[in-house]
């Protein structure tokens, strides 16, 4: 945990406010308006600087290229030495970048800065050596933050255990509906470096950015200061990387540091509100809650099927602004309504009009494998939520349907399933278990839902998902939902959750063809 300066939190219903703070400067002593951030100043600042980039892949390669283009002397170190790494190394070598494969532990001599891929754990020997040598370590997000121009687009940032990508894409859709140049970037898979660097004419590409940030990225972004930010929820995840729940939560809370306008929190998740209370923000920054119930002052919520705003109106104690209807959200599951409220809160903090919130939500379509309806077969609905790779995500998905035949299992990542099963037991018509750690879910079902029929599939080959879908179909009755929300990672049987979702959808379509 970083040291936090004393701050005063005004806890009135008329808008919570964190004050008595001056904004922190960047770790290298520049600010968005500093001349060192113009094109010439950037090149002067980076020319000859010896930078080590830790890791290849989707973040390391563009970071190395960007730094080389700015005049830095770049060395890339990478643990792996496989075919893909060798191919990337050859491309970088052609650009004059040194790459050391199979040696990610040794700090190159003369290194002045390390830029790391977000997934590299903080206890790696490379970082311990950097700390001993007094060399700072940044992630790709920190690098992007440092490379912003003097007229840089503000960042509206989103983190949380679940729902980040959906919320960021909703936010981008709302901002576009308001006529703003924007993009959903960051952990969503679109490089922040590409977004923050000016175009070929030296102009900023965007008016505002919707930024998804993982806990890994936030850990390595010490000077990030967003316009406004949201923490959607906090539940155990990635504890093997962070070392403890406390460290994981603290890294999520970094997204609030230095916010200038709004810290958006989940009124149903006290931890997110506590993170706001602990944050150092600019004076005047407000705490804005979102709730699935009737909102209080300085909150967004739901009243009789309408999303309403009691935060960004003139008279918060007596007025509420209609934003959209639940029917404008696809799908209108409770956790997705919460995502929409968080996105709306960030957009409203940026000054977006109510009509743009409605139009943006209507235009938004969820990514595949996120509570995606595949087909109805013989009166049973089949839903793919392969993205539910942990218990918190699966709980939200299970809460959206009743009754359910649940397909679950995979890599548990150290998770416990008792709470999830206990909360969902009354909704379950039956369960089909797949994957390496399926026994852990089976044991929780035996303890908390012993009356629910369970099919335990030992099959792990390419036909396993077809067998799971057919087993679920035998358990289901007309009006039921067969829901694949595995609560586990996919890599025991599939390359990733996308491939798992595709296998489920293919199996459902094959079943539908037989009933046609």
The model's pLDDT over 37-59, given as tens digits with 9 standing for 90+, comes to 566 777 788 999 999 999 998 88
What's 150-363's CATH class?
Answer: alpha beta
* Average pLDDT of the residues in 218-243: 90
Beta-sheet strand order (sheet of 380-384): 372-377, 380-384, 481-484, 404-408, 428-433, 454-456
- Pair 75, 85: CB distance under 8 Å: no
- Pair 161, 235: CB distance under 8 Å: yes
Give residue 327's pLDDT band: very low, low, confident or very high (50, 70, 90).
very high
d(CA 398, CA 425): 10
Give residue 341's pLDDT band: very low, low, confident or very high (50, 70, 90).
very high
Question: Residue 167 contacts by C-beta under 8 Å, 6 or more apart in sequence?
Answer: 158, 160, 212, 230, 232, 339, 340, 342, 343
Task: Please tell me whether 294 is known to bind a ligand.
Answer: no
Q: What pLDDT sits at residue 377?
A: 97
Task: Please tell me whether 426 is known to bind a ligand.
Answer: no
d(CA 470, CA 515): 12
Comma-separated ranges of CATH 3.40.1190.10 domains in the chain: 150-363
> Which of 116, 148, 138 minimizes the C-alpha distance to 45?
148
Task: Please tell me whether 160 is known to bind a ligand.
Answer: yes
Task: Please tell me whether 162 is known to bind a ligand.
Answer: yes
Comma-separated ranges of CATH 3.90.190.20 domains in the chain: 372-515
459 pLDDT higher than 80 = yes
Max intra-chain CA distance, the chain: 70
7 pLDDT higher than 80 = no
At the second CATH level, the architecture of 372-515 is Alpha-Beta Complex (3.90)
Q: What angle do the packed helices 334-349 and 391-398 form, to 10 degrees?
A: 110
Q: What pLDDT sits at residue 20?
A: 28
User: In whole angstroms, how far apart are CA 501 and each of 278, 434, 483, 486?
Assistant: 39, 14, 11, 10
Q: In this prediction, what percent of the chain has a pLDDT beyond 70?
A: 92
21 pLDDT higher than 80 = no
d(CA 89, CA 75): 11
Q: What pLDDT sits at residue 214?
A: 93
Task: Please tell me whether 165 is known to bind a ligand.
Answer: yes
Question: Residue 457 contacts by C-beta under 8 Å, 6 or more apart in sequence?
Answer: 432, 433, 434, 438, 464, 467, 468, 471
Three-state secondary-structure class, residue 287: strand
Q: Which residues on adjacent β-strands are paired with residue 115?
A: 53, 138
Place of tokens 């639940």: 326
* Average pLDDT of the residues in 215-225: 94
What is the CATH code of the structural domain delimited by 35-143?
3.40.50.720
Q: What pLDDT sits at residue 19?
A: 30
Three-state secondary-structure class, residue 329: coil
- Full DSSP string of 453-471: -EEE----STTHHHHHHHH
358 pLDDT higher than 90 = yes
Q: What pLDDT sits at residue 24?
A: 27
* Average pLDDT of the residues in 285-295: 97
Q: What pLDDT sits at residue 288?
A: 98
Task: Please tell me whether 496 is known to bind a ligand.
Answer: no
Q: What pLDDT sits at residue 242?
A: 76
> Which of 71-80, 236-245, 338-347, 468-477 shows the lowest per-residue confidence on average (mean pLDDT)?
236-245
If you average pLDDT over every residue of the chain, what do you get? Answer: 90
Q: Do the strands 454-456 and 428-433 form a parallel or antiparallel pair, or are they unpaired? A: parallel
Q: What pLDDT sits at residue 102?
A: 94
Q: What pLDDT sits at residue 37?
A: 52
**Residue 92: how many CB atoms within 10 A of its CB?**
21
Q: What pLDDT sits at residue 62?
A: 93
> Which of 173, 174, 229, 183 minimizes the C-alpha distance to 207?
183
The residue length of the chain stands at 516
Give residue 462's pLDDT band: very low, low, confident or very high (50, 70, 90).
confident
Q: And the tokens for 196?
A: 């923050």
Burial (CB count within 10 angstroms: exposed 0-12, middle 13-18, buried 19+), residue 138: buried
d(CA 130, CA 126): 6
- Comparison of pLDDT for 111 and 12, the residue scoring more: 111
- Pair 259, 228: CB distance under 8 Å: yes
Q: What pLDDT sits at residue 239?
A: 72
Task: Please tell me whether 435 is known to bind a ligand.
Answer: no
Give residue 198's pLDDT band: very low, low, confident or very high (50, 70, 90).
confident
Q: Is 435 left (phi over 0), alpha (psi -120 to 50) or beta?
A: left
Q: And the tokens for 169?
A: 């894409």
Give residue 461's pLDDT band: very low, low, confident or very high (50, 70, 90).
confident
Three-state secondary-structure class, residue 123: coil
């Amino acid at each position: 945990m970083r040291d936090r300066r004393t701050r005063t939190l005004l806890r009135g219903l008329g808008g919570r406010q964190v004050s008595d703070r001056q904004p922190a400067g960047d770790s290298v002593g520049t600010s968005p308006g500093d001349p060192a951030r113009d094109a010439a100043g950037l090149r002067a600042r980076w020319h000859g600087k010896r930078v080590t980039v830790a890791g290849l892949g989707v973040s390391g390669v563009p970071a190395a290229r960007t730094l080389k283009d700015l005049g830095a002397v770049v060395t890339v170190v990478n643990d792996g030495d496989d075919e893909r790494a060798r191919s990337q190394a050859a491309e970088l070598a052609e650009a004059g970048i040194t790459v050391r494969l199979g040696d990610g532990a040794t700090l190159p001599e003369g290194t002045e800065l390390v830029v790391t891929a977000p997934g590299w754990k903080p206890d790696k020997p490379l970082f311990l050596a950097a700390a001993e040598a007094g060399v700072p370590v940044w992630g790709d997000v920190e690098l992007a933050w440092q490379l912003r121009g003097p007229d840089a687009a503000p960042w509206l940032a989103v983190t949380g255990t679940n729902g980040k990508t959906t919320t960021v894409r909703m936010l981008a859709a709302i901002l576009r509906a308001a006529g703003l140049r924007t993009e959903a970037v960051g952990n969503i898979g679109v490089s922040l470096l590409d977004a923050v660097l000016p175009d070929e004419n030296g102009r900023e590409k965007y008016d505002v950015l919707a930024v998804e940030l993982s806990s890994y990225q936030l850990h390595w972004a010490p000077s990030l200061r967003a316009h406004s930010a949201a923490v959607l929820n906090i539940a155990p995840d990635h504890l093997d990387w962070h070392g403890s729940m406390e460290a994981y939560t603290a890294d999520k809370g970094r997204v609030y540091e230095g916010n200038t306008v709004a810290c958006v929190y989940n009124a149903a998740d006290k931890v997110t509100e506590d993170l706001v209370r602990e944050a150092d923000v600019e004076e005047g920054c407000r705490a804005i809650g979102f709730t699935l119930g009737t909102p209080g002052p300085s909150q967004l919520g739901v009243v009789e099927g309408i999303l309403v705003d009691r935060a960004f109106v003139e008279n918060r104690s007596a007025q509420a602004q209609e934003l959209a209807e639940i029917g404008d959200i696809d799908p209108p599951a409770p956790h997705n309504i919460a995502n929409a409220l968080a996105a709306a809160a960030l957009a409203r903090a940026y000054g977006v009009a109510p009509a743009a919130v409605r139009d943006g939500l209507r235009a938004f379509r969820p990514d595949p494998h996120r509570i995606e309806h595949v087909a109805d077969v013989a009166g049973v609905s089949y839903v793919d939520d392969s993205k539910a790779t942990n218990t918190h995500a699966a709980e939200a998905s299970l809460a959206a349907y009743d009754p359910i035949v649940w397909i679950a299992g995979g890599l548990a990542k150290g998770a416990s399933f008792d709470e999830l099963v206990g909360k969902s037991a009354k909704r379950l018509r039956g369960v089909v278990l797949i994957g390496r750690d399926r026994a852990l879910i089976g044991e929780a079902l035996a303890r908390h839902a012993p009356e629910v029929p369970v099919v335990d599939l030992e099959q792990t080959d390419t036909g396993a998902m077809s067998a799971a879908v057919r087993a679920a179909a035998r358990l289901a009755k007309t009006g039921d939902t067969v829901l694949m929300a595995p609560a586990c990672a996919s890599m025991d049987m599939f390359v990733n959750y996308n491939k798992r979702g595709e296998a489920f959808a293919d199996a459902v379509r094959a079943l539908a063809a037989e009933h046609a």
